[in-house]
Amino acid sequence: MKLFKLTLCSLVITTLLFATGEIKEELEYSRIVTKVPTTKKVVALTFDDGPSLKTTEEILAILDEKKVKATFFVLGQNVELLPGVLAQEIEEGHEVGIHSYDHRILSKISKDDVKMEIEKSEKLIAKATVKPTLFRPPGGSYNKSVLSVVKDKGYTMILWSVDPHDWSKPSAKKIVDVVMSKIKPGSIILLHDLKYPSPTPEAVSIIIDRLKEQGYEFVTVSELLKYYEIQAAITSLTDTM
């Protein structure tokens, strides 16, 4: 029986180590992340398409009140119009990633144009902070050319695992219900700080309260990426053998 357990342990460890290699490859080569495999109750709130005047400001006020940090994937053209709102995001300790310059579907344009979309946004963001390391394509749409540019520019592509489609302006309750039904440790939540009026600020306030009640902690995407726990899983398994 002891020999069987040792053999099983060896097999599972080998599998987990192989998975570790896959995770490393995902982060370093394809550089696409939709969620983080972890047993810790940590999640990332992310916001696309801003900054906008009233909606982003309302969201920032809620995040400040509740002591939560988030990641904002900004559009270069909106940063150009509202540099002060971007500066506020940075000053208040939030993370900024690139979401292209003008929200074109990158899989439908040339490689040179994809590069231009990123570089124009980089230059605008660089006026307020350091070069970002995270990128999210509009609509989550990408192809080999997009991946190639993202990799060459040194970005990690961040998608999502929870999407309540708040951009379509459902009720705040519906947004909350979708998020709460799909949330798991390591989730990346997709929301939007689009033009006012928006149901998202109200929903964000409720989501934060409910997830905190369940013991969740909110972190930025870059912080979330540190929570891969394959080694912890190996330790836990061997301790039971």
pLDDT (tens digit, 9 = 90+) per residue, 23-74?
A: 444 444 446 999 999 999 999 999 999 999 999 999 999 999 999 999 999 9
- Catalytic (active-site) positions: 48, 192
Residue 95 β-bridge partners: 71
CA angle 189–190–194, rounded 5-degree value:
140
Dump pLDDT digits (tens) for 112-163: 999 999 999 999 999 999 999 999 999 999 999 999 999 999 999 999 999 9
3-state secondary structure of 42: strand
**Residue 181 three-state SS:** helix
Backbone angles phi, psi at 72, to 5 degrees: -110, 120
Amino acid 40: pLDDT: 96
Cα dihedral 174, 177, 181, 183 in deg (nearest 10): 100
- Domain 31-228 coded CATH 3.30.70.1350: no
Among candidate residues 177, 180, 203, the one with its CA nearest the CA of residue 192: 203
Asked if omega into 137 is within 30° of 0 (cis), the reply is: no
Assign 45 to helix, strand or coil: strand
